[in-house]
Amino acid sequence: MYTLTIAELSAGLRARRFSSVELTRALLERIARFNPHLNAFLTVTADEALAAAQRADQELQAGRGSPLTGVPIAHKDIFCTRGIRTSCGSKILDNFVSPYDATVVTRLKEAGTVLLGKTNMDEFAMGSSNETSFYGPVRNPWDPKRVPGGSSGGSAAAVAARLVPAATGTDTGGSIRQPAALTGIVGLKPTYGRVSRYGMIAFASSLDQGGVLALTAQDAALLLGVIAGFDPRDSTSVEVPVPDYVAALEAPLKGLRIGLLKEFFDEGLERECGERVRGALEVFRSLGAELREVSLPALPLSVPTYYVVAPAECSSNLSRFDGVRFGHRCQNPRDLLDLYMRTRGEGFGAEVKRRIMTGTYVLSAGYYDAYYLKAQKVRQLISDDFRRAFEQVDVLMGPTSPTAAFEIGAKTDDPITMYLNDIYTIGANLAGLPAVSVPCGFVADLPVGLQIIGPVFSEAKLLNAAYQYQKETDWHRRLPRGYD
């Protein structure tokens, strides 16, 4: 059961081949068995899950319910879940029980899913390896000495290890796509504004987007259809109708114009990873797509742009963590200043502090124009480059990550080395574009991901391309050793 996709599980549940309670129990057992090693889950909500599974079974028995009724999922611990601890991977929220549900959580709940628990993540979503979590690193199921990627590392590892068929994630600079690539699953970042950010703890408000990690593009389409859509509680949520992503999967790819980003196939890309990606492109060619080279000259500046904008926004977003109304508070504060300094000094990890300080610096008097304003201008240049490219091609393709999964601790000495992991993913966040990573092969038994980027609100097209590719390949069906 645990190797089935959501589409397959849904069919099985409706045909009563197995019940949601059976499925949920089986997965909870797997979690109990594998999680101590993987550290993918921070909180397992066993009782609530079984209760929800029972309710789902009742719905299914009565012939009611939706395609997702009874299907287990997990939420990245960045999504507020009512009555359940929501830590954001940080000590400062270690004791925080959210009094409300994020919109994404509500929508998946109303669709009948069964919540198994909250997954581990880089602290406040700041990281590309899930090594900055207060709760320790997550291990990649494909090789426990290696990282699963980040910041949605827990969600990725949980899905790859078949502890749960899908999980939510967030992507600010690649935090859904990169871990999906490193763990051999599908990771989708929707267009900015497609999915509500209400209840999704903010890192960088103009870059964050909630999305999904799953085994197949079809599963991602099912889930996106539920979580996408306008939310009046989010001023940055757009009123664009949600298409039927599942129906759009079957469209043939003949004539699809694929742009290959010159800037993505550079010296930074590890040779064999590049070969897997090129192999994937040949499959698309065989399906009738046209490939051509495009260039986005401003794209190489995306990492420095991101590392001005994201820290700036996060330095402000994280000011609310002050020990006054919720979260960690230092012991016996001498005065107000001491309360703030020690609460935040104790509560935040090093990477978070680095980014808050970077952000504070670039926004401060005298530096705003040189850094923040400049970065926002370069951001416009990058966005314009993408727009021009999409006048000539339908989608862009390239690698998701410059390398396959690296060893835990290998890149933690120098933050910049870690930041460069996001070199291919950041552009889409800066321009607010949708992008998906789909497994396209292995290098030394480690997964490699193909990234597909589209213009705004082209998720249907992206998922369609990924789905057609997955019909021709079976990378997504491979299981990591020990988890099969």
Partner 1 sequence: MSLTRTDVENIARLARLEITESELAEYVGTLSRIINFVEQLNAADTGDVEPMAHPLSGQTQRLRADEITERDKHELYQKNAPQVEAGLYLVPKVIE
Partner 2 sequence: MTEWETVIGLEIHAQLATRSKIFSGSSTAFGAAPNTQANLVDLGYPGVLPVLNGAAVRMAVKFGLAIGANIARRSVFARKNYFYPDLPKGYQISQYERPVVEDGALDVLLEDGSRKTVGITRAHLEEDAGKSLHEGLKGYTGIDLNRAGTPLLEIVSEPDMRSAKEAIAYMKKVHTLVRYLEICDGNMQEGSFRCDANVSVRPKGAAKFGTRAELKNLNSFRFVEKAINHEVARQIEILEGGGVVVQETRLYDSDRNETRSMRSKEEANDYRYFPDPDLLPLAIDEAFIEEVRKTLPELPDEKAARFVREYGLPEYDAGVLTASRELAAYYESVVIALGGAPKLAADNLKEQLAEPKLAAGGLKEQLAAPKLAANWVMGDLAAALNRDGLEITSSRLGPQHLAGLLRRIADATISGKIAKDVFEVMWSESAEADAIIESRGLKQITDSSAIERAIEQVMAANPAQLADYRAGKEKLFGFFVGQVMKAMQGKANPAQLNELLKRKLSG
Q: Which residues lie near partner 1 (CB under 8 A)?
A: 95-97, 99, 192-193, 206, 232, 235-236, 238, 298, 301, 304-305, 307-308, 315, 319, 322-327, 329, 333-342, 344-346, 348, 350, 353-354, 356-358, 360-362, 364, 370-371, 373-381, 383, 414-416, 419, 430-433
The burial of 366, by beta-carbon neighbours within 10 Å (0-12 exposed, 13-18 middle, 19 or more buried), is given as exposed
Contact pattern for partner 2 over residues 52 through 91, marking x by CB under 8 A: ---------------------------xx-----x-x---
Which amino acid is located at 401 in the chain? S
Interface characters, 202-221, with partner 2 (x: CB under 8 A): x-xxx---------------
Of 11 and 324, the one with the shorter C-beta distance to partner 1 is 324
Facing residues of 144 across strands? none
**Cβ distance to partner 1 smaller for residue 124 or 307:** 307
| Smallest separation, CB 342 to partner 1 (Å) | 5
Closest CA to 411 of 122, 173, 135, 162: 122
- Nearest of 457, 461, 453 to residue 436 by alpha carbon: 453
Please count the residues of the chain: 484
Closest separation between CB of residue 9 and partner 2, Å?
29
Question: What is the C-alpha to C-alpha distance for residues 275 and 441, in angstroms, rounded to an integer?
Answer: 9
| Residue 99 in the binding site for partner 2 (CB under 8 A) | yes
Q: Is 356 helix (H, G, I), strand (E, B) or coil?
A: helix
Query: Does residue 230 belong to the site contacting partner 2 (CB under 8 A)?
Result: no
- Candidates 10, 20, 76, 437; catalytic one: 76
247: alpha, beta or left? (left if phi > 0; alpha if psi -120 to 50): alpha
Answer with the entry of partner 2, partner 1, none that 247 interacts with (C-beta below 5 to 8 A by kind): none
Residue nearer to partner 2 on the CB measure, 313 or 394: 313
Q: Which span (16-24, 175-183, 197-205, 453-461) binds partner 2, by CB under 8 A?
A: 197-205
Contact 215, 166 (CB under 8 A): yes
Q: Which two tokens stand for residue 160?
A: 């790859």
Burial degree of 392 (CB within 10 A; 0-12, 13-18, 19+): exposed
Question: What residues are paired with 259 via a beta bridge?
Answer: 292, 396
Smallest gap from residue 305 Cβ to partner 2 (A): 15
Is 254 annotated as catalytic? no
Count how many Cα atoms sit within 13 Å of the Cα of residue 63 in the half-sphere of its side chain. Answer: 0
Span from 48-56, 194-202, 256-264, 266-274 in contact with partner 2 (CB under 8 A)? 194-202
Q: Is 437 annotated in the active site? A: no
Give, to the nearest 10 degrees, the angle between helix 46-61 and helix 20-38: 150
In the list partner 1, partner 2, none, the entry touching 473 (Cβ below 5 to 8 angstroms by class) is none
**In this complex, which beta carbon is closest to partner 2, that of residue 107 or of residue 162?**
107
On the CB side of 98, CA atoms within 13 Å amount to: 20
**Does residue 125 belong to the site contacting partner 2 (CB under 8 A)?**
no
Residue of 151, 237, 315, 437 marked active site: 151
Which residues 331-390 are close enough to bind partner 2 by CB under 8 A? 336, 340, 360, 363-365, 368, 372
- Asked whether the bond before 151 is cis by omega within 30 degrees of 0, the reply is yes
Specify whether 461 is catalytic: no
Using the rule CB under 8 A, which residue among 64, 233, 388, 481 binds partner 2? 233
Q: Please count the helices (runs of H) and the strands (runs of E) in the chain.
A: 15, 11
Determine the 3-state secondary structure of 348 from DSSP: coil
By beta-carbon proximity to partner 2, the closer residue of 173 and 441 is: 173
What is the footprint of partner 2 within residues 275-334 (CB under 8 A)?
312-313, 315-316, 318-322, 324-326
By CB under 8 A, residue 134 contacts partner 2: no
Residues in Cβ contact with 332 at an 8 Å cutoff, skipping those fewer than 6 apart:
none
Residues with catalytic function: 76, 151, 175
